[in-house]
Amino acid sequence: MEAPAGVLMIACGALAREILDITKQLPAGAVELTCLPAIWHNHPEKIVPGLKQKIDAAKKSGRNVVVIYGDCGTGGAIDAYLESESIPRIPGPHCYEMFLGKPDFDAEMEAELGTFFLTDYMVRHFERLVMKGMGLRQHPQLRDMYFGNYKRVLYIAQTEDPALVAKARAAAAMLALDFDYRFAGYGAFTNFIGAASQTANAVNS
């Protein structure tokens, strides 16, 4: 049986919207996206088993696979597993650096180590992920425990959306932190996805 030509991208669900937007610019069938639940950021022990399940299924059908994930709290377990399977992963420890690029990310951290980062996804789901997910809505006193060492919120935006900027600014206010904004677009994701697609097509041509 001939293997499908397109590369299978296994990604964090928090990146699905951005990846789909990028893949729309590629030839039809060049990329297929499958995601693991974004909520697994709160349960990193589930990520490697989830990746393994999807990769094992892909290998049975002869798929070319790449992974679009950061470390996501797994303590290096994702990279250890992917290296054992010779599966490539987008470079970078987390999506904040991937969106900004390492030089700009390092500069932001040097400017203010106590930075809490937001992306478009996190802004859209801030109430569910942070206020309710971290228990702050029910127990406001937890704010100091979680965010007492932070100084600012930095919203790394993928889209230029005034409504999301307003929500991000409100999120910073809820956490009693200063607010900064950087428009980054899709950062390293565009080139990585394009290159992975070209490699898969070359292998299958």
pLDDT single digits (tens) 27-45: 888 999 999 999 898 899 9
The three-state (H, E, C) secondary structure of 60-129, written as one string: HCCCCEEEECCCCCCCCHHHHHHHHHCCCECCCCCHHHHHHCHHHHHHHHHHCCCEEEECHHHHHCHHHH
Q: 203 pLDDT band (50/70/90 cuts)? A: low
Which of these, 63, 69, 71, lies nearest to 31 by C-alpha position? 63
How buried is residue 24: exposed, middle or buried, by Cβ count under 10 Å (0-12/13-18/19+)? exposed
Please state, rounded to an integer, the average pLDDT across all residues of the chain. 93
| Region of poorest pLDDT, from 53-57, 140-144, 201-205 | 201-205
pLDDT in tens, 157-199: 999 999 999 999 999 999 999 999 999 999 999 999 999 988 7
**pLDDT score for 204:** 53
Averaged pLDDT for residues 82-105: 96
Instruction: Quote the pTM value.
Output: 0.89
Strand pairing report for 7-12 and 115-118: unpaired
**pLDDT score for 166:** 98
150 against 42, higher pLDDT: 150
Q: Evaluate if residue 114 carries a pLDDT over 50.
A: yes
Q: 5 pLDDT band (50/70/90 cuts)? A: low
Percent pLDDT > 90 in the chain is: 87
